[in-house]
Amino acid sequence: MNATATRAPAIRVRGIRKSFGDVDVLRGVDLDVAAGTIHALLGSNGAGKTTLVRILSTLARADAGTASVQGHDVAAAPGRVRESISLTGQFAAVDEVLTGRENLVLVARLRHLPDPDAVADDMLARFSLTEAGGRRAGEYSGGMRRRLDIAMSLVGNPPVIFLDEPTTGLDPQARVEVWRTVKQLADGGTTVLLTTQYLDEAEQLADRIAILHQGTIIRSGSLAELKRLLPSATVEYVEKQPTLEEVFLALVGEADDATSAGKELS
């Protein structure tokens, strides 16, 4: 994983709010994602992770607040934002009737890139799918299908990629394959915003982690910084560092306690 860049954030979010009817999904989210890093947005189901990604990828509009990607305002310049990003959702969006190579050629043609065949061959090699390129995507394993999906998302080399729960439903071996692919993206300079509910995934991949709970980010930092929020325990002179799971559960519990106390006083 790359060191945090010192230049302007690739993604900047300030005061983003979003409601659906009477339900406040996002309640004032602030977030900076440095260029060329992997930033994990960690939260339980319903925390608002996908809603935030949809706003950043111009698929939904915020009720309040501002957000920019690569310096482009998502509300004022959605076209420029779309040129700068790619989005991979929770389920692979490949055409299972086509071969892996044909899927990539199709995307390259839709993006009006010169020499789609060369683009497809390059992406197959980059994601270790050359030998499987002539097989129908429906015959791929879950990990191979997800790698192909990410490869399709990267056709045209967008500088920012959103991965929304990229390992949902995958077996442990397939998850490791996807993790390796995500690390390679950041090593190549791509900015990755990863949403996940899997604590080990954030622990394995992220340069920085933001914990989204009840529509707000309650803590943000590197893994080491978050672990320091809990005291380490010692047993027979052996120091035990808190796991990310322990940090997450403790912070979420504190936020719930604070919310309950506020309701009792009101």
Q: How much of the chain exceeds pLDDT 90, in percent?
A: 58
Nearest Cα to 40, choosing from 160, 158, 164, 151?
164
Would you state the structure tokens that stand for residue 215, as one six-digit string?
A: 């529509």
- Phi–psi pair at 167, nearest 5 degrees: -110, 15
Tell me how crowded residue 3 is: count the other CB atoms within 10 A of its CB.
9
Tell me how crowded residue 19 is: count the other CB atoms within 10 A of its CB.
14
Give the confidence band of 2 by pLDDT, cuts at 50, 70, 90.
very low
**Domains delineated in the chain:** 11-265 (3.40.50.300)
Would you state the structure tokens that stand for residue 111, as one six-digit string?
A: 């993006």
Q: How far apart are CA 165 and CA 73, in angstroms?
A: 24
Tell me the per-residue pLDDT of 165-219, one tens digit each, with 9 for 90 and over.
888 877 787 788 888 888 988 898 999 999 998 888 999 999 999 999 999 999 9
Tell me the per-residue pLDDT of 67-82, one tens digit each, with 9 for 90 and over.
999 999 999 999 999 9
Tell me the per-residue pLDDT of 136-178, one tens digit each, with 9 for 90 and over.
999 998 888 888 988 898 898 899 999 988 888 777 877 888 8
Q: How far apart are CA 197 and CA 182, in angstroms?
A: 16
Looking at the predicted structure, is the pLDDT value of residue 263 above 80? no
Q: What is the 3-state secondary structure (H, E, C) of 159-217?
A: CEEEEECCCCCCCHHHHHHHHHHHHHHHHCCCEEEEEECCHHHHHHHCCEEEEEECCEE
pTM: 0.79
pLDDT at residue 265 in the model: 57
Tell me the per-residue pLDDT of 51-61, one tens digit each, with 9 for 90 and over.
999 999 999 99
- Whole-angstrom CA distances from 100 to 56, 146, 152, 163, 178 are 29, 11, 9, 20, 17
Q: How far apart are CA 189 and CA 6, in angstroms?
A: 14
The terminus-to-terminus CA distance of the chain in angstroms comes to: 46
Give the confidence band of 129 by pLDDT, cuts at 50, 70, 90.
very high
CA angle 202, 207, 211 (to 5 degrees): 50
Give the confidence band of 1 by pLDDT, cuts at 50, 70, 90.
very low
Q: How far apart are CA 153 and CA 110, in angstroms?
A: 12
pLDDT at residue 241 in the model: 77
